[in-house]
Structure 1
Amino acid sequence: MMTATRLYLSRHGQVANHHEQRYNGHFDVDITALGVEQMERLAIALSAEKITGVYSSDLKRAAKGATMISNALGLKSKKERELRELHLGRWEGLTREEAVRLYPEDAGFSFRDLGKDKVTGGESLIELRARVMPAVTALLKAHEKERVFIMAHGGVNRVILCDAMGLALENFFHIEQDYGCLNVIDYFQDGTKVVKLLNGGPNQALEATRLY
C-alpha cells in the first residue's frame, strides 16, 4: 500500500457562549470547562500517535485545544490565521434575533445561500474555501508521508471534508462537526483521499489510528 499523509482534523471544544446560539466567526470566545475536558480526552487518545506537527486557527477556542494536544505529544503548536472560522461580518457576536433587529435589511439572509451570498463584511463559502484549502495543502506538503494535526472550526472542517470527499459546497450543511470531534483523512500520492473517520470521538480515534 502506498504511504499516505494522514490528517487528524478536530473541531475545538464547547464554547463559552454556546447556550446563547451566537454567531462567533472571528469573534474570539473561549472554551468552557467541558470544552477543556473534551480536549483532554482527545489529547489522551492521540498522545501515542507519531504526529509531527500541530496547527490551529489563531482564535483562542482552537489554539487552547491545540496547545493541549501538542503538549501531550511533546510538540509546539503553531497558529495559522488562514484556519479561522468563516467570517460572519457584522453578525459576529450576535444572535440571529439581535442581528435582524440591528440590521433589518439582512432579515432575508439564509446561511443556505452562503455558496454565493454572505453577511455584509463577511465571507461566502467560496471565499472560505479559497482561504482555507491553500493553507491546508501547504501543511500537508510540509508533512508529506507523515501525520499532522489541525484544530479548527466547524465551517473550516466542513470545507476540508467536502474537498476530501469530492463534494460540492452545497453539501456543507450535510456534514456534522460536534465540539471536540475528530476526523481522520489519508492523502495518497496519486491524489486519492480517504476519510477514515468522520465526526468521531476519542475512543473511535484510537481505532481509526490503527487502520493502516
Structure 2
Amino acid sequence: MPAATVVLWRHGRTPYNQQRRFQGQLDVPLDSLGERQVRAAAVELALLDPAALVASDLSRAVATAAALTARTGVVATLDPALREVHAGEWQGLAHDEITARWPEDYAAWRRGDDVRIGGGEKRSEMADRAAGAVERHAAAVADGATLVVAAHGAALKGALLRLLGLELTSWTAVAGFRNAHWAVLGRRARGWALEEYNVGPPGAGEGVEG
C-alpha cells in the first residue's frame, strides 16, 4: 500500500491574493502575512509526522513547503504538474478587469463550466494533471505514511474532486481552499475519503479563498 494519508495544503497569502488578482502560473511570492500563516500552519502539520513533502515549483508553494521543512527536516520534491491553472491572458489582472473584458467567459468559470480561461487551460486539464501528480507521489511514499502536498487553490480543489471520484460539475458546491489551509484525505479499500477540509492554523482567517 502507498501513502495512507494525503494532506493538500494551499500556499499562504500573496500580494495578488490581497489585491484579488488572478495569479495563475505567474510566480508571485508570499507577502508578510502569508509567511506568518505558513509558519503557523507548519506547527500544526508537523504533528501529522509527514514522511514526504511535495510542492508546486512556483515560489509561493516552495516557500510554503519550506516552512514545514524547517519544522520537520523533510525536504520538498518540486513538481510543475502541481502548478495553478494556466489562465492565459487573465493572469495578473484584477477580477473586475477580467469581468469587463471577458464577461461571458468569466461568468462561465465562476459557474463551474469547463472553459479554457484566457486562452490557457480548462479546469478539467488542470484537475487531471494535479490529481495525477498527487497519485504518483502518494504511490512513492512508504506504506501507511503521510504525504503533504503544498500547492494552489484551484489545482488542489480539482485534484481533490478527482481523487474523491466526484464530477467537476460539483465545483461550486465545494468551498475553495483558504490561504494556508488544508484538506486531509485517508486511503480506503475503494479509494480516498475526505477526513478534514479547509482546516487552518490560528490567525489564518485573513486569507483569501481560491
Q: TM-score range by the shorter chain?
A: 0.7 to 0.9
Match of 2:124 in 1: 126
Q: Give CA-to-partner distance per residue, 1:90-111, whole Å, 9 cap, x none.
A: 110011333456xx4x332121
Percent identity (aligned):
26
Amino acid at match of 1:12: H
Structure 2 equivalent of residue 184 of structure 1: 184
Match of 1:90 in 2: 89
**Equivalent pair of 1:56/1:66 in contact (CA under 8 Å):** yes
Task: Measure the CA separation in 1 of the matches of 2:21 and 2:171.
Answer: 19
Superposition deviation, residue 194 in structure 1: 1.6
Contact 1:164 1:195 in 2 (8 A): no
Shift of 1:47: 2.3
Note the C-alpha offset of 1:161: 1.9
Q: Retained in 1: the 8 A contact 2:164–2:191?
A: no
User: Match of 1:107, as an amino acid?
Assistant: P
* Structure 2 portions without partners, runs of 5+: 203-210
Paired letter, 1:79: L
Note the C-alpha offset of 1:155. Answer: 0.5
Aligned to 1:142: 140
Aligned-residue offset at 1:33: 1.3
Distance in 1, matches of 2:52 and 2:190, equals 21
TM-score, normalising length: structure 1: 0.85
**Distance of 2:80 and 2:181 partners within structure 1:** 21
Given that 2:23 and 2:92 are in contact with CA atoms closer than 8 Å, whether structure 1 keeps it comes out as yes
Could you tell me how far 1:121 is from its partner in structure 2? 2.6
The TM-score with structure 2 as length reference comes to 0.86
C-alpha distance 49-107 of structure 1, shift in aligned 2 (>3 A): closer
Structure-2 residue corresponding to 1:170: 169
1:46 and 1:23 map into 2 onto residues whose CA distance is 28
What letter is aligned with 2:50?
I
Aligned residues: 198
In structure 2, relative to structure 1, the CA distance for the partners of 1:156 and 1:49 (3 Å cut) is: same
Query: Counterpart of 2:121 in structure 1: which amino acid?
Result: E
Letter in 2 for 1:86: V
* Unpaired stretches in structure 1, ≥5 consecutive residues: 204-212
When the two chains are superposed, the root-mean-square deviation of aligned CA atoms in Å is 2.1
